[in-house]
Structure 1
């Protein structure tokens, strides 16, 4: 199943080793592990159809947390004629769609899912020098990587991150990612070529 905010979850999330009963439909099938979801409710597993079709909407459980504050700011800039209640309604709809119909991206630290151009971004894979060079229109992968970093900090040396921590070779899937102690999560805007990168270390 294709997910709006998550490309190729079969690579970057995978399924439980054995088929189990989905909490949403109670059918024994391939499911995502749901034990790490956020919220007051606890479930064990959910299939792609139930997750994608919104079976978590209305329940106190989610797969991630969207940067709703920044999304609200973006929508206000893009739609100055909209009232704050209208903007708040759009933010709620988009945030529910993200948090309750998107596979869980397993990370070491908790951080907010990025947004761009008035919508949440789509996770497209783990960062590597190969990936940035591939998606950079001018071939300048390092420049794209540095521009895409979302964390503003005087303590972060972007050149050092590229040279010392960003893998040269492609990280193909979740299993491959376990060989790295620092990971870079790459997101793409749904409405432009803007790339955003969040990095994480164990």
Structure 2
């Protein structure tokens, strides 16, 4: 057994034993990046296994096509399996690389440099796709100024609005001007009695885009922060799958659906976190 294969087996054991923990996923990514610079045949063979384990199905298939022995029946069978995944999934469902605390802090600093306001209930709106960037810039419909960051998610108003800048959302100017909201005030968890918190959520917080009607979770007497779109793999990588299943909102059948969910699939999960105790919560819907 070569050294590359030994390392892969140990990393896979750690990955399985810890239920896809963030540290185990980061270790696999580091090994993947190391192997990608190797020219040895043995390294490339193991790289196929690493790609496959992390669900980079297209990369695994493409590499095996290059190095695989097509006279070997096992190789041909694996190529057939990987081809189906590669054609239907590509690398779309690859397990994401968890960010370190240092990387998260660096991203926050970059967002501050961009002048992006702080949104209490949606802390990383660029990361979640609530905002997009334009090098040329677009004109905000609310203030009339050119902005290089603009809103992309639902805004509920009578008028059809093309572009809103982060500042007009954060100040409430957009909601006031168009008598609109970024979240339906009836599609929320109960338990928040402060009207100022409701106002901040629906009038001054960028929303998210769901398959059906978006719903906002609450905990500890306050609305939660929206963290992004996830499936079971992302939840395992973040180490919060069992935590989100510990929720009286879900029955056993729904919990099983969450365990089998795929980010971007027919059942989409949306991840929230309590601002006070840190508990993670989900909402989910179907396309």
What is the TM-score when the length of structure 2 is the normalising length?
Answer: 0.51
CA shift, 1:39, in A, is 2.8
More helix by share: 2
CA shift, 1:127, in A, is 2.4
Name the residue aligned to 2:210. Answer: 107
Name the residue aligned to 1:26. Answer: 144
Q: Provide Cα deviations, 1:11-51, integer angstroms capped at 9, x if missing partner.
A: 212326562210222112221136x4113343221111111
Query: Larger deviation: 44-53 or 54-63?
Result: 54-63
Q: Distance between the aligned counterparts of 1:69 and 1:102, measured in 2?
A: 14
Structure 1 contact 67–114 (Cα < 8 Å) conserved: no
Counterpart among 89, 96, 120 of residue 4 in structure 1: 120
Q: Distance between the aligned counterparts of 1:104 and 1:142, measured in 2?
A: 23
Q: Distance between the aligned counterparts of 2:251 and 2:123, measured in 1?
A: 29
Helix, strand or coil: the match of 2:174? coil
Q: Distance between the aligned counterparts of 2:124 and 2:241, measured in 1?
A: 24
Counterpart among 145, 155, 174 of residue 244 in structure 2: 145
CA shift, 1:126, in A, is 2.0
Name the residue aligned to 2:271. Answer: 186
Closer, same or farther: CA 159–116 of 1 in aligned 2, 3 Å: same
Q: Please show how residues 1-202 of structure 1 align to structure 2 within 5 Å.
A: 1=116, 2-13=118-129, 14-15=131-132, 19-30=137-148, 31-33=150-152, 36-58=154-176, 59-66=178-185, 70-71=189-190, 74-75=191-192, 87=193, 90-91=194-195, 93-133=196-236, 135-136=238-239, 141-148=240-247, 150=249, 152=250, 156-162=253-259, 164-166=260-262, 177=264, 180-202=265-287
Structure 1 contact 149–197 (Cα < 8 Å) conserved: no
Name the residue aligned to 1:170. Answer: none
Closer, same or farther: CA 200–110 of 1 in aligned 2, 3 Å: same
Q: Distance between the aligned counterparts of 2:158 and 2:238, measured in 1?
A: 39
CA shift, 1:128, in A, is 3.6
Unaligned stretches of 5+ in structure 2? 1-115
Closer, same or farther: CA 60–184 of 1 in aligned 2, 3 Å: same
Unaligned stretches of 5+ in structure 1? 76-86, 168-176
Q: Provide Cα deviations, 1:56-97, integer angstroms capped at 9, x if missing partner.
A: 3434211112458744xx25xxxxxxxxxxx5xx22x21121
Closer, same or farther: CA 16–38 of 1 in aligned 2, 3 Å: farther
Larger CA Rg, structure 1 vs 2? 2
Closer, same or farther: CA 128–108 of 1 in aligned 2, 3 Å: closer
CA shift, 1:100, in A, is 1.4
Name the residue aligned to 2:87. Answer: none
What is the TM-score when the length of structure 1 is the normalising length?
Answer: 0.69
Q: Distance between the aligned counterparts of 2:132 and 2:162, measured in 1?
A: 12
For the aligned residues, what is the CA RMSD? 2.7
Q: Distance between the aligned counterparts of 1:153 and 1:69, measured in 2?
A: 19
